[in-house]
Structure formats: C-alpha cells, structure tokens
C-alpha cells in the first residue's frame, strides 16, 4: 500500500533570493528575502566600498593630471600614466556613486521616502550612500522583494573595485619622464617610472621620492619647468 501524499509533499521551502545563493532559509529566517550569510557578506562589502573608492579616485586623479603626448603646442612631452578606462568609469559619472545612489533610491521608493538628496561629488557621495545602505540593509534583507538583485549588484561592484585595487590586472610600469631633482645645480635626469594604481614614485639614482598626490603635482610642475628651461636654451 502506497503512502498517501500530504500537503508537505507540495510545499516549496523558501530560499534566499540572491541569484548566486538560492539556499534554503533556516527556520529562524522565515519571512526573510535574503539569508543571513548573504546579509553579512553584503554588509562587509558596503563597509569596504568607501575605502576602495578613495584608492581608485587617487589613481584616477593621477591620470587626469597627465596631458597627452602630441596634443599640440600646449601638450607636454612628459609621458603620462596611461589612462585605465575601468578606473575612470568607476570614479566618474555612472560609476560607484551613481550605482549606489540607484540602489538607495529604489529602497527609498519601497519605503515611501523621498529620493536620495544630492550629496556633492562622487567622493562625498559614496560614503553617504554606503551609510544609508548599511543602516537599512537589515530591512531590505527582511522585507524588500528585489533585495537579491541589489545584493548581487553590490557584489559585482565590490569585485570590480577590489580587482583593480589589488592589481589583479596589473598594468605594468611605464615611463613618466625624467627626474627633475637638482644636486649642486646638476640635474639628475634619471628616467622615472610609475604604475596607474600607485602615486608613489622613486628615483633609483638620487633617491628622491614622491609619495603623495601633492608631491606628484610638484613632480609634474618641476618636470615642466625643466622642459621650459631646456626649450629656452635651445631657442
């Protein structure tokens, strides 16, 4: 004699709505949209995003400060750090700040709140968006039906930032001009190199270092001065 089917046979146990998870929820997670492990991982990623953005923004600032070779009479002969489009895309319009803002706006809409206020530049906005998401993550994982996709989007965004910051796609070293340091009125002139992921430059000959964004600008200015003096002598 076969056992008669019961209502339990047709019951579909609730699962986490995150696309890459979909595991069955614990009894204590009944009613939630996302499981606690996904919430914990997302919380860590949100917390790390402002720091990752600051590191990316530093590299992007170096790129913006370099002028292209052969750009006419106003161009510089100092080779620039090559622009990395994936870095500029993350720190510019449509980048990290905009992607976090879109998630915040969706959550605010679901809560019946007004859209996120304007928070200034991306550097100012990213920490503010991250704070909002961190403060409301528990609600989203508990009650917001679309949170699974948002969790996956935050995972992808964090992964893109981490891959660049950790040099998983290392761009290699490139020449950025000659060392402009003078010792006893003698120009060093040693070729300098740098990478797009770091603003630290050191001359192997005289040992001069440029380790901050302000010092990088000083290096560029000194190189331009040497080029101007050289051009004046040649004329």
* Span 20-36, average pLDDT: 88
> Would residue 22 be called left, alpha or beta, if left means φ above 0 and alpha means ψ between -120 and 50 degrees?
left
> Would residue 70 be called left, alpha or beta, if left means φ above 0 and alpha means ψ between -120 and 50 degrees?
left
Q: How many residues are there in the chain?
A: 235
Cα separation, 42 vs 60, whole angstroms: 26
- pLDDT single digits (tens) 45-79: 999 999 999 988 876 655 554 433 333 334 444 44
Contacts of 42 (CB under 8 A, 6+ apart): 34, 137, 141, 151, 154, 155
Query: SS3 of 76, please?
Result: coil
Q: Residue 133 to residues 42, 74, 149: CA-CA distances in angstroms?
A: 10, 45, 14
- pLDDT single digits (tens) 100-124: 999 999 999 999 999 889 999 999 9
Task: Report residue 128: phi and psi, to 5°.
Answer: -70, -45
Contacts of 8 (CB under 8 A, 6+ apart): none
The predicted model scores a pTM of 0.64
């Amino acid at each position: 004699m076969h056992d008669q089917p019961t209502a339990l046979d047709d019951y579909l146990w609730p699962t986490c709505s995150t696309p890459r998870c979909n595991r069955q929820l614990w009894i204590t997670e009944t009613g939630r949209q996302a499981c606690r492990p996904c919430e914990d991982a997302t919380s860590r990623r949100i917390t790390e995003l402002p720091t990752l953005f600051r590191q990316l923004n530093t590299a992007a600032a170096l790129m913006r400060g370099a002028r292209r070779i052969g750009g006419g009479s106003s161009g510089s002969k100092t080779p620039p750090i090559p622009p990395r489009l994936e870095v500029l895309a993350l720190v510019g319009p449509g980048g990290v700040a905009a992607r976090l803002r879109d998630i915040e706006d969706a959550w605010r809409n679901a809560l019946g709140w007004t859209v996120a206020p304007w928070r200034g530049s991306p550097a100012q906005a990213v920490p503010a968006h991250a704070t909002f998401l961190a403060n409301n993550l528990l609600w989203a994982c508990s009650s917001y039906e679309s949170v699974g996709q948002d969790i996956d989007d935050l995972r992808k965004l964090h992964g893109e930032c981490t891959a660049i910051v950790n040099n998983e796609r290392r761009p290699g070293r490139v020449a950025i001009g000659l060392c402009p340091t003078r010792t006893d009125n003698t120009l060093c002139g040693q070729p300098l190199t740098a990478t797009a992921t770091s603003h630290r430059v050191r001359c192997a000959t005289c040992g001069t270092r440029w380790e901050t964004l302000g010092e990088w600008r000083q290096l560029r200015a000194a190189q331009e001065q040497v080029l101007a003096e050289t051009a004046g002598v040649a004329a």
